Amino acid sequence: MADFRETEIKSPPKGGRVKRLGMAAIMLVMLGGGGLVIGYFAANGFHADARSSQQLSKPKLAAKHEPSITAALANLNSNKQKSRFKESEYEATYYAIEEPFTSNLKDSSSFAQLSLSVATYYDRQVLDNIASHETAIRSAILLTLAEQELEPLGTQQGKRALQKSLTDAINGVLKEKTGFGGVNNVYFTSFVVQ
């Protein structure tokens, strides 16, 4: 009988080197594409326009936590007489601007010096925005003050008009810088015209 030996049959190489080179090329293309995508988002996506990011985190009205004395008395005396004071359901927060403002008045040798506090019914974000942009706000206040004439500032109506103008000026700066104003009123803590 014939002796049969088992012999291994070697299959021809199936392109191992070509396969490896092809896989390496595909990996390089994928890594390069991923790097481009990450670079694009790092340059554009993460540094979006300040207004769009501010709109996502708009300040919220700050609700009062405790009922006020006026509201409690109104509830107790609801049968007798209705309260003539309407309480706001939101809590006012104040921000005192530290340094006073001094400016010459329009068409006059007189000047005005005043100190201000700003009021908002919104949350802490508005106060943080005021503090962050205080230099621009100070400039807007001084420009508004320099446009005032002496005569109207001697009357209550003139001072109220100045309050409104200053509120609008501050909100204008905040809207320009952050996309949201949020200041409800300006209060004078000192006011001198000479």
Written as six digits, the tokens of 118 are: 């700003």
Can you tell me which residue has the tokens 């070697």? Answer: 10
pTM: 0.60
First to last CA, the chain: 133
Q: Answer yes or no: is 99 within a domain.
A: yes
Domain encompassing residue 162: 92-193
- CATH number of the domain at 168, please: 3.30.479.30
Q: Answer yes or no: is 23 within a domain.
A: no
Separation between Cα atoms, residue 185 and residue 59, nearest integer Å:
16
pLDDT at 80: 43
Decide if 193 contacts 150 (C-beta within 8 A). Answer: yes
Separation between Cα atoms, residue 51 and residue 179, nearest integer Å:
5
Q: Answer yes or no: is 2 within a domain.
A: no
Separation between Cα atoms, residue 123 and residue 134, nearest integer Å:
18
Written as six digits, the tokens of 96 are: 């005192």
Q: For each of the chain's 194 residues, which pLDDT tens digit applies?
A: 555 666 666 665 566 777 788 788 788 778 777 777 676 666 665 544 544 454 556 787 777 665 555 555 455 445 444 434 345 688 999 999 999 999 999 999 999 999 999 999 998 999 999 999 999 999 999 999 999 999 999 999 999 999 999 999 999 999 999 999 999 999 999 999 99
pLDDT at 1: 55
pLDDT at 4: 61
pLDDT at 84: 41
- Number of compact structural domains in the chain: 1
The answer for 127, left when phi > 0, alpha when psi is -120 to 50, beta otherwise, is: alpha
Q: Answer yes or no: is 144 within a domain.
A: yes
Q: Answer yes or no: is 180 within a domain.
A: yes
Q: Answer yes or no: is 107 within a domain.
A: yes
Separation between Cα atoms, residue 103 and residue 139, nearest integer Å:
11
Q: Answer yes or no: is 126 within a domain.
A: yes
pLDDT at 50: 47
pLDDT at 131: 95
| Residues sharing a CB contact under 8 Å with residue 183, sequence separation 6 or more, in sequence order | 118, 119, 120, 126, 130, 167, 170, 171, 174
SS (H, E, C) the chain: CCCCCCCCCCCCCCCHHHHHHHHHHHHHHHHHHHHHHHHHHHHHHCCCCHHHHHHHCCCCECECCCCCHHHHHHHHCCCCCCCCCCCCCECCEEEECCCCEEEECCCCCCEEEEEEEEEECECHHHHHHHHHCHHHHHHHHHHHHHCCCCCHHHCHHHHHHHHHHHHHHHHHHHHHHHCCCCCCEEEEEEEEEC
pLDDT at 82: 43
Q: Answer yes or no: is 147 within a domain.
A: yes
